[in-house]
């Protein structure tokens, strides 16, 4: 996927260090950060923000999104609610989410299926799902006990739900906790690992159908 970066100019921070009244007059609809009262410390803050904005823009222009994100995050830590830093961070997160894309076919009849996608830690992920499948299960009056290793974190999960887990090796499929896939909801991945998918079912061999899962993120090599 080719990601186009629209041309833009970073806003100046002429107002950085101005009185709260003047800043509010320029952007009354936005909350402003609390700035230090000490003039020398304020000068250091302002100098960092000016240089950091230039550095973040340079990284973004070169499509070095990881480095640009680090700079914007540092700006937000120093000056919470800084409008330009928050906007830049959101923009980079969107770029990272859209950088790579893959569509995975998930068979209702199979157990854990390797998506071929390695998700990176701290990267935003977007997932969409298309298709339907059929759950078929035969049992007697005793019902079926769900093994602990297949118990999802959300106890309300329904039979036939698409679930996933992230593992650094196939051996972790026995120990890693699965989670329900929620199409359309973005999330930030908490660990680097390969994404596995399957239907939530004890014995999937009598099921039928396929679901197609589209994953967008910045994949690991």
Place of tokens 């989670």: 179
| pLDDT tens, the chain, 221 aa long | 333 333 323 333 334 433 333 333 334 444 555 667 788 888 888 889 889 989 988 888 887 878 888 898 888 888 887 888 888 888 887 776 667 889 999 999 999 999 999 998 888 898 999 999 998 876 666 666 666 666 666 566 788 899 999 998 888 998 888 899 988 888 888 889 999 999 998 889 989 999 999 998 888 87
Range of the structural domain that residue 30 is part of: 20-96
Q: Among 72, 96, 120, which residue terminates a domain?
A: 96
Question: What does the radius of gyration of the chain's CA atoms come to, in whole angstroms?
Answer: 23
- CATH number for 182: 2.60.120.1250
Same domain membership, residue 191 and residue 148: yes
Domain assignment present for 9: no
Quote the distance between the C-alpha of residue 100 and its chain's center. Answer: 13
Quote the distance between the C-alpha of residue 24 and its chain's center. Answer: 33
Residue 209 φ/ψ region, left for φ over 0, alpha for ψ in the -120 to 50 degree band, beta for the rest: left
What domain count does the chain have? 2
How many secondary structure helices (H) and strands (E) does the chain include? 4, 8
Q: Among 76, 96, 116, which residue terminates a domain?
A: 96
Same domain membership, residue 92 and residue 66: yes
Domain assignment present for 195: yes
Same domain membership, residue 81 and residue 147: no
Same domain membership, residue 143 and residue 71: no
Q: Among 35, 65, 96, which residue terminates a domain?
A: 96
Domain assignment present for 79: yes
Q: In the chain, where do the E strands start and end?
A: 100-107, 113-119, 124-134, 162-167, 179-180, 187-188, 193-199, 208-217
Maximum Cα–Cα distance across the chain: 77
Q: By 3-state DSSP, what share of the chain in percent is helix, strand and coil, each rounded to 5?
A: 30, 25, 45
Same domain membership, residue 211 and residue 140: yes
Same domain membership, residue 45 and residue 135: no
């Amino acid at each position: 996927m080719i990601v186009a970066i629209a041309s833009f100019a970073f806003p100046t921070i002429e107002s950085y260090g101005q009185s709260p009244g003047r800043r509010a007059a320029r952007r009354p609809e936005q909350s402003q950060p609390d700035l230090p009262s000490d003039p020398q410390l304020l000068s250091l803050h302002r100098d960092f923000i000016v240089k950091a904005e230039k550095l973040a823009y340079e990284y973004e222009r070169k499509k070095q999104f990881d480095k640009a994100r680090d700079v914007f995050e540092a700006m937000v830590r120093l000056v919470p609610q800084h409008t330009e830093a928050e906007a830049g961070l959101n923009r980079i997160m969107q770029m990272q989410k859209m950088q790579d894309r893959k569509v995975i076919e998930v068979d209702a009849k199979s157990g854990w299926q390797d998506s071929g996608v390695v998700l990176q830690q701290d990267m935003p992920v977007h997932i969409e799902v298309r298709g339907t499948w059929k759950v078929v299960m035969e049992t007697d009056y005793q019902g079926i006990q769900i093994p602990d290793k297949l118990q999802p974190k959300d106890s309300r999960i329904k039979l036939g739900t698409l679930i996933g887990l992230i593992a650094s090796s196939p051996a972790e499929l026995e120990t890693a906790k699965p989670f329900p896939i929620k199409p359309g909801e973005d999330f930030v991945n908490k660990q680097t690992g390969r994404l596995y998918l399957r239907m939530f079912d004890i014995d999937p061999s009598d099921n039928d159908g396929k679901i197609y899962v589209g994953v967008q993120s910045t994949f690991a090599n």
